[in-house]
Amino acid sequence: MGKILRVDLDTRRVSTEELSDTVVEKYIGGNGLGTKILYEETTNMTEPLGPDNLLIIAVGPVTGTRAFNSDRFDAVTMSPLTGIYAESNAGGYWGGVFKKCGYDALVICGKSAEPVYLSITDKRVEIKNAKSLWGKETFEATEILREMEGKTCRAAVIGPAGEALVRFASVITDGMHGRTLGRCGFGAVMGSKNLKAVVVNGNRPTEIADEEKMASTLKKLGPLMRDQPTALRIGGTSGGVEGSESIGNLPIKNWNQGSWPEGAKKITGMTMVEEALVKRYHCGQCVINCGRVVRAEGGPYEGQEMAGPEYETMGLLGSNCMIDHLRTVLKANELCNRYGLDTISTGSVIGFAMEAFERGLISSQDLDGIELTWGNGPALLKVIDRIARREGFCRVLGEGVRKAAEQIGGNACEFAVEVKGLEPPAHDGRARFTVALGLATANRGACHLGAFTHDFEEGLVIEDLGTPGLPKRFTTEGKAENVFMMQNLMCMFDSLSCCKFGLYGGLTVNPLIDFLNAATGWDLDHTAFFETGERIFNLKRLFNVRVGVSRKDDTLPLRMLTHRRGGGTNELPPLNIMLSEYYQCRGWNEFGIPTRERIRKLGLDNYIPY
C-alpha cells in the first residue's frame, strides 16, 4: 500500500520497505504506525538520547489528498524529557510534501559522526553535510536550506536548543511562519543524532481509491468547514485566553492564582488581532486559517514580523509567568521558535523558576544577576536565551520542571507542575474534570490533545461520537466513558494525521471515516474505527508499561489535586474515582495495566510485556 523509508545514520545506509496492507488496516499510519515500529524496534533499555533510539515520522492514508485538514505529520520517539513514549504532530506543509515524495513513514536510527541533514525527494534520498548549518538558528538554517535545496522544498529543522540537547527542544518546519513538533523533546533526539534537518521536496500525486466518495464528502463538509469555526479564524487559538481565564482554565502564576482578568485581556488573541495582526495563514488542505503573522509596533521590537503565539504559548509564557505585556510574549514566542524550544515547557519551567526565586530557593546569583521576578519581561527573555544555550544554572531549567525541582531541592517538588515528567498545556484539571482525567492518563504525559475534551464538556457536542454530551463540568458522571471514547478518536485523528480543530467545522467521526474509506477503498464502520483507535491507544500504553508506567503515574500535580485557587473554579478533581471508572472502560486492572483478555481482543497479543 505504501512505503517506509529507513535511514541509518551510523552506516549511512538508506533503504525502503513495503508497508503491508495488514499493518495499515491495524495501525492506519501516522502515530499508530509509528508506535508499532517504536515498540518493536526499541526496548526498555533504550536511551532516549542514545543512537538506538528511533526518530519516526509518519503520515496517514489521507495525507496528500484533498481531504480537509489532512496535511499534518506525526512523530514518535522515546522522550528525553520523560523517558516514556513520546508523540508530537505538526501542521504546515511538510507532511503533504513528504507524502508526495512517495513515502508514508521515515525511520531514523543511529548517530552520524558529523552534522548532517537528510534530503528526500521523489527521486532520491541523500545524507548531506550540515557542518555549515550547525549552530544556526532555525529561521536562518531554513532559509539556507531553501537556497540549497530549492524554493519548493519544506524543511523540518532544529536550532541551538536541539543541538545542545535541551530536553524540551522542538523541531520547526518552514521557518518563521511554520508549524512545530513542540512537545517531548524531538529536537533533542535529532540533536543527539547530529541531524540538523529533514528536507523534503516531492510532487508525486497521491492515489485515491474512491474519487467519487472523496468528492462527495468534500462537497458535504465544505460549507460547514468554511463557515463554522469563525472564532478560531478570527482570533486564532489565542482568541480563547479571556474565556479560559473566566472559567479557571488558564495557568496563572505557576498554576497558583485563580483569576487575572486584566492581564488576560492584554494578552488575548483578540488584542493581538487589534494591535499587531499582519495576516492569517493556514496549513495544507485547511480552510480554517488559524495561523497568525503579527508585527510588533512600538517598544523595543518595533517592526519585527513574527508568527503569532498560540493559546498555549500565551498561557505559559504569558499568564503563567504573569507577563501582561503582549509584545514581550510575542518576542518570547519568536525566540523559542528561533532557538527551537517548546513554548509550553519553556513557559512552565520559567514560571516554576519564578516561584522558586520568590521562595528563595534560587537567587539572582544563581542566575548571573537576573532578578527572575513575576512579570519581569526582560528577565524572561534572558532566561529563554540561556536555557537554549544551556548556560549556567539555566542548564538545570533545560532539564524540565521535574528534574529541575529534584535538583533545586527543598520543597520545590510541591510546586513542580508536571505529569509523567511533561509540563501541562494551558488547560487546568480543576476547571474541567474530563481535562483532569485526560491529563492524568495521556500516554505522553500531561497533554490535552490526547483526549481533546476541553471544548466538549459543558459546551460543544460531537453527535456521532456515540456517547451522551456532558452538560456539567463538576460531576464525575459520564466523564470516564467520554475520555475513553475521545482518546480513541484522537488516536485515529493522529493516525490519519488530520487536524483536530476540524472538529469545530464538522470533521467529526463520520466524515473522518468517509475520508479514510475514500482514500483506501475500505468499508470501515463506526465500530471498527473505534476499535482501531483503542488498539493504538493500548499499544502506546503497553510501551509505557514496559518502561514501568502504572496507576502511580496516572496522576496530577499536587497543586491541581489539592489547591483551591478560586476565580473561575474552586473545585478539585476527584481523580481516583474517575480513574477507577476509566480503567474499567478500558478493560485494565486496578493498577492501570491492560488485561490479557482485552489485549487479545484488540489483536495485540505480540506486544504483552508481562
Query: Of the two residues 286 and 401, which places its CB atom closer to ligand SF4 in the complex?
Result: 286
Of 194, 185, 188, which Cα lies nearest the Cα of 110? Answer: 194
C-alpha separations of 333 from 67, 338, 373 in Å: 31, 9, 19
Place of cell 502564576: 253
Pairing relationship of beta strands 291-295 and 277-281 according to DSSP bridges: antiparallel
Widest distance between CA atoms in the chain: 67
Query: What's 457's DSSP letter?
Result: B
Which one of the spans 283-291, 364-372, 416-424, 441-449 is the region binding ligand SF4 (CB under 6 A)?
Answer: 283-291
**Residue 307 binding ligand SF4, by CB under 6 A:** no
**Residue 225 binding ligand SF4, by CB under 6 A:** no
Query: Of the two residues 91 and 533, which places its CB atom closer to ligand SF4 in the complex?
Result: 91
Q: Of residues 130, 145, 164, 283, which one binds ligand SF4 by CB under 6 A?
A: 283
Query: Of the two residues 427 and 430, which places its CB atom closer to ligand SF4 in the complex?
Result: 427
C-alpha separations of 517 from 27, 400, 510 in Å: 15, 42, 10
Residue by residue, DSSP assigns 128-167 as: EE-TTTTT--HHHHHHHHHHHH-TT-EEEE--HHHHTT-T
Supply 380's cell numbers: 524572561
Supply 140's cell numbers: 536562518
Q: Give least dist CB 94 to ligand SF4, A.
A: 12
**Rounded distance between C-alpha atoms, residue 110 and residue 398, angstroms:** 24
- What residues numbered 83-102 form the site for ligand SF4, per CB under 6 A? 91
Q: Give least dist CB 491 to ligand SF4, A.
A: 18
Q: Are 127 and 9 in contact (CB under 8 A)?
A: yes
Supply 158's cell numbers: 532544529
Q: Give least dist CB 280 to ligand SF4, A.
A: 9
Query: Of the two residues 237 and 271, which places its CB atom closer to ligand SF4 in the complex?
Result: 237
**Rounded distance between C-alpha atoms, residue 186 and residue 162, angstroms:** 8
**Rounded distance between C-alpha atoms, residue 543 and residue 85, angstroms:** 7
**Rounded distance between C-alpha atoms, residue 133 and residue 323, angstroms:** 34
Q: Of residues 208, 286, 412, 512, which one binds ligand SF4 by CB under 6 A?
A: 286
Which one of the spans 127-135, 284-292, 370-378, 592-600 is the region binding ligand SF4 (CB under 6 A)?
Answer: 284-292
Sheet arrangement for strand 305-307: 277-281, 291-295, 305-307
Per-residue mark of binding to ligand SF4, 43-72 (x: CB under 6 A): --------------------------x---
Query: Of the two residues 82 and 337, which places its CB atom closer to ligand SF4 in the complex?
Result: 337
Half-sphere exposure of 48 (CA within 13 A, CB side): 22
**Rounded distance between C-alpha atoms, residue 550 and residue 538, angstroms:** 13
Query: Of the two residues 488 and 497, which places its CB atom closer to ligand SF4 in the complex?
Result: 497
Half-sphere exposure of 254 (CA within 13 A, CB side): 25
Query: Of the two residues 273 and 539, which places its CB atom closer to ligand SF4 in the complex?
Result: 273
**Residue 121 binding ligand SF4, by CB under 6 A:** no
Supply 377's cell numbers: 519581561
**Residue 503 binding ligand SF4, by CB under 6 A:** no
Q: Give least dist CB 500 to ligand SF4, A.
A: 8
Q: Give least dist CB 501 to ligand SF4, A.
A: 4
Q: Give least dist CB 101 to ligand SF4, A.
A: 20
Per-residue mark of binding to ligand SF4, 462-501 (x: CB under 6 A): -------------------------------------x-x
Supply 240's cell numbers: 480563547
Query: Of the two residues 93 and 583, which places its CB atom closer to ligand SF4 in the complex?
Result: 93
**Residue 288 binding ligand SF4, by CB under 6 A:** yes
Query: Of the two residues 89 and 488, which places its CB atom closer to ligand SF4 in the complex?
Result: 89
Q: Of residues 110, 191, 202, 291, which one binds ligand SF4 by CB under 6 A?
A: 291
Query: Of the two residues 196 and 282, which places its CB atom closer to ligand SF4 in the complex?
Result: 282
**Rounded distance between C-alpha atoms, residue 539 and residue 32, angstroms:** 8
Q: Please give the residue ranges that form the binding site for ligand SF4 (CB under 6 A).
A: 69, 91, 282-283, 286, 288-291, 499, 501
